[in-house]
Amino acid sequence: MVSDLNKSSSTHGSTPDQTSPVPVSDSPVPDAASPSAPPSSNSSRSASSSRAPTAPVAPPARALDLFLGFLEIGLYGFGGVGASARYIIIDKRRWMNPEDYMALMAVSQVLPGGNIINASVILGDRFLGVRGALAGLAGILLAPLCIIALLGILYDHFGTLPWVQAVALGGGAAAAGLIIGTGLRLGRSVAPTLTNIGVGLVSFVALGLLKVPLPIIVGIMIPASIGLAIWGHRR
């Protein structure tokens, strides 16, 4: 689970000439921010009282702790903040046990918006009220925003250089593949029932091919999909 922490050293190194984009990393990383966690996470909540955590949980005492913790999550979150959030909140700072974390992430994922951004607000509020929520939010946003601004300045200055454009466009092609892969990867954790395949295909075709505005898709598909899930649950 430690994942993201030991790899930035080789980031700028010499990636060999590759015809297919095979990464050179040796750091395994769990799913970054998976909106639909496997069904097992639903049942694990009920076990929260019976299974004791391996080490005592130490909730953040000050808003500053929350700020610094989420600052770390933001800075370690290369390639997605899902893995670093888990590491910092459960393993390093021990704010929560894994069961509570699962429940927190489940709610954060069901709501619109960034999962970890939502989690920072809910977790902060839970421990220290409004102050905690603001501290968590500031922590998760501050460092990445500064880096984004820096990259924006660099892009303004060097973005017209042909080699920068070629490299960034290659990165863009990879980013597109990353999004498709993230979606397909999530699809592997969804039960391949007829209704699930139908919902996935309809929303894919509507957004990707027919260019239906997202609010319309979401407005129709959320009630439909949840309704079908409840109906399937009852049968």
Which residue among 92, 94, 126, 131 contacts other proteins (CB under 8 A)? 126
| Comparison of 91 and 227: residue with beta carbon closer to other proteins | 227
DSSP 44-105: HGGGTTTS--SS------SHHHHHHHHHHHHHH-TT-SHHHHHIIIIIIS--S-HHHHHHHH
| Comparison of 41 and 93: residue with beta carbon closer to other proteins | 41
- CA 183 to chain CA mean position, Å: 12
| Structure token pair of residue 200 | 């996935």
DSSP annotation of 209: I
138 binds other proteins (CB under 8 A): no
- Tell me the residue type at 178: L
CB of 221 to other proteins, least distance (A): 5
CB of 91 to other proteins, least distance (A): 17
Site residues for other proteins, window 159-198 (CB under 8 A)? 159, 162-163, 165-191, 195-197
Site residues for other proteins, window 21-80 (CB under 8 A)? 21-25, 27-33, 35-37, 39, 42, 45, 74-80
Report how far residue 211's alpha carbon sits from residue 169's, in angstroms, rounded to the nearest whole number: 23
Site residues for other proteins, window 194-213 (CB under 8 A)? 195-197, 199-209, 211, 213
| Comparison of 55 and 233: residue with beta carbon closer to other proteins | 233
Report how far residue 84's alpha carbon sits from residue 90's, in angstroms, rounded to the nearest whole number: 10
113 binds other proteins (CB under 8 A): yes
